[in-house]
Structure 1
Amino acid sequence: MMEKGQISAWQFFLLVFGYLLGTSFFFRPGGLIAIAKQDAWIVPLWAGTAGVLMSLIWIKLANHYPGLTIVQICIKAAGKGVGGLIALLYIGYFVHLSSFVIRNLGDFMTSTLMPRTPITLFHIMFLLIICYAVTMGVETLARATEFLFPLVTLILLLVFFIALSEWNWDRFQGMFRMNVWTTMKDTRSILGFPYMEAFVFMMLLPYVRSKVKVSFIMGIVVATLLLSATVYFTIGVLGVTRASHETYPLFLIAQEIHIGTFFEHLESTIALILLASIFIKLSIAYYGAVLGICQLFRVNDRSWLAFSLILLISGLALGFDNVLENIEFGKRYDFEYTSLYAIIFPSILLFLTWMKQNKGKQKPGTSS
């Protein structure tokens, strides 16, 4: 199946930015602050630098195979057998990532806003919307992101400015005392989530009209700066002790906002931001899974396939017991697990491509 849609550099930038910042600004600050204390805002900066370097590998690989997604590149570079197996592993990762993201949404809704509602109901309802967006194509996803971007930005800025009344500079006492190597080792999971997960954009690169490299890197850079600013803001408003013991520190900040009797309990606005952000991230991962299956198995109609994946992904999402298990999985295995797809496989494919090109250059010389 060939995707006929095309997206602009600006739309691609928004997709990258929304995908990376999507759930990380909500789920990351507490864990980072627990490890790095007052210096936690520095961690996204080095992780973002590594993210830019990794994106250069992906772009380099894509440049060797213009117009092809990562699934097609696997088969082209490594052959139908081995390449097909690697492509299948990529599709499996996209499905697993989708189930992980939708479970995060379900855990948040049941633990904070609607505890009596079955978690599966949130999964099915949200996946139905995602399924419809994916069947409409990449242009629809890009336009939806364009629509949501100003809404999310304005609400987030509103919450930030109102919460500044609780700011206290004393909460930064003890800054720049971290052991750099130990902190990098303990926070390596931030490389996996969100930066390494951005390799899913290799499914979208063929449909970007122009300035792929610039928009990709700028999306990573801007998302990194805002994630760092969010962590800094959380420390200044809540302090290290409170922030490190909260699963959703930003939600707590919104919950405690009070300006008279008019502005109070703004947690529902934060929930809207999270829903919009998860829509962006989940739709891209879901799209990667659907398009990958269609390309690998040469399926022409993606509608029934996209609908069928709802059952698979919602079922897999129930494999995690609770949000704490998700966090523990991320801490222990996310970096190692995701590096297989984001670094090891792309490096192998680049090496195979280089070998083929060298072999092609040597043939004319040997014949003469």
Structure 2
Amino acid sequence: MMEKGQISAWQFFILVIGYLLGTSFFFRPAGLIAMAKQDAWIVPIWAGAAGVVMSFIWIKLANHYPGLTIVQICTHAAGKVIGGLIALLYIGYFVHVSALITRNLGDFMKQTLFPLTPITVFHVMFLLIICYAVIKGVETIARATELLLPLITLVFLFIFFVALSEWNWDRFQGMFRMNVWTTMKETRSILGFPFMESIVFMMLLPYVRSRRNVSFLLGVVVATLLLSLIVFFTIGVLGVTRSSHDTYPLFVIVQELHIGSFFENLESTIALILLVAIFIKLSVAYYGAVLGLCQLFRVNDRSWLAISLILLISGLALGFDNVLENIEIDKRYAFEYMSLFGIIFPSLLLFLTWMKQSLGKEKAGSSS
């Protein structure tokens, strides 16, 4: 299936920011603060720097195969059998990421806003909207992001300025005391989620009209700085102890905001931000899975594949037991699992590409 849509460099840039911040701005701060205390805001910076290095590898690989997605690159670089198997693993990975994002949404809605509603209801309702966006194509997803991102920004800025009244610099006492190597080792999972997850943009690169490499790298840098700022803000408003003991510290900050007697129960605003952010992230991951399946199995109409994935993803989302178990799995295995798709496979494909090119040059030299 050929995607006929094209997106601009600006749209791609905001898609990268929206995807990287999608769920990480909400689910990452508590774990980082628990491990790195007052220095937790530094962790996204080193992880983002590593993310930029990984992005260079992906871009280098994409430049060797202009107009091809990562699924198509796999079969071109490693052959139909091995390459097809790697491509299938990538599609499975995009499905798995989609299921994780879906479960994050369900857990949050059930724990904070609708405790009596079955979690499957949230999964299916949201996946139906995502499925529609994916069927419409990459242009629709990009335009929706372009429309929704200013909304997130305005609401977040409002929360930020109102919550500054609770700010206390004393909460940063004891800064710069972390053991760098130990902290990096303990917080390595942030490399997997969100930075390695952005390998899915290798499915979108061929459809960016211009300056795709710059847009991608800038998006990673800006998202890194924003994530660091959010962690810094959380520590300053809630403090290390409260932030590390709350699953959703940003939700707690908004829950406690009161502006006179007029603005109360503002937690619905943070729920709105999260829903929009999850829409951006899930639509990109879901699109990567659908497009990958279409390209690998040469399916021309993506509609039925997209609809079928609703059942698969909502079913897989139920396989994650609870929030605490998910956090533990993420801490122990996220980096190792995601490095397979973010580092090992791209490096292998790049190595095979260089081998083919050098062999091709040798043959051309000997024949002449």
2:151 corresponding residue in structure 1: 151
For 1:293, the aligned partner's letter is: L
1:283 corresponding residue in structure 2: 283
2:93 corresponding residue in structure 1: 93
Deviations 1:83-104 (A, max 9, x none): 0000000000000010000000
Alignment partner of 1:319: what SS? Answer: coil
For 2:311, the aligned partner's letter is: L
2: CA distance, partners of 1:316 / 1:148: 28
1:60 corresponding residue in structure 2: 60
What displacement does 1:326 show?
1.4
What displacement does 1:153 show?
0.2
2: CA distance, partners of 1:235 / 1:264: 23
What displacement does 1:364 show?
2.0
Deviations 1:248-295 (A, max 9, x none): 000000000012111222110000000000000000000000000000
Deviations 1:146-175 (A, max 9, x none): 000100000000001000000011100000
2:17 corresponding residue in structure 1: 17
Alignment partner of 1:41: what SS? Answer: helix
Number of paired residues?
368
**Structure 1 residues 163-178: aligned runs within 5 Å:** 163-178=163-178
1: CA distance, partners of 2:291 / 2:222: 28
For 1:284, the aligned partner's letter is: V
Q: Would you say 1:185 and 2:176 are equivalent positions?
A: no
For 1:82, the aligned partner's letter is: I
1:299 corresponding residue in structure 2: 299
What displacement does 1:325 show?
1.5
Deviations 1:57-80 (A, max 9, x none): 000000000000000000000000
Contiguous gaps of at least 5 residues in structure 1: none
Contiguous gaps of at least 5 residues in structure 2: none
**Structure 1 residues 230-249: aligned runs within 5 Å:** 230-249=230-249
Report sequence identity in percent.
Answer: 81
For 2:173, the aligned partner's letter is: Q
For 2:204, the aligned partner's letter is: L
**Structure 1 residues 96-107: aligned runs within 5 Å:** 96-107=96-107
1: CA distance, partners of 2:296 / 2:259: 55
Alignment partner of 1:263: what SS? Answer: coil
Runs of 4+ with deviation above 2 angstroms:
none
Deviations 1:25-84 (A, max 9, x none): 100000000000000000000000000010000000000000000000000000000000
What displacement does 1:367 show?
2.2
For 1:12, the aligned partner's letter is: F
For 1:194, the aligned partner's letter is: P
2:123 corresponding residue in structure 1: 123
For 2:328, the aligned partner's letter is: E
1: CA distance, partners of 2:190 / 2:184: 10
**Structure 1 residues 313-324: aligned runs within 5 Å:** 313-324=313-324
**Structure 1 residues 317-336: aligned runs within 5 Å:** 317-336=317-336
Relative to the length of structure 2, the TM-score reads 0.99
Alignment partner of 2:28: what SS? Answer: helix
Q: Would you say 1:341 and 2:341 are equivalent positions?
A: yes
2: CA distance, partners of 1:22 / 1:104: 11
For 2:103, the aligned partner's letter is: R
Relative to the length of structure 1, the TM-score reads 0.99
1:51 corresponding residue in structure 2: 51
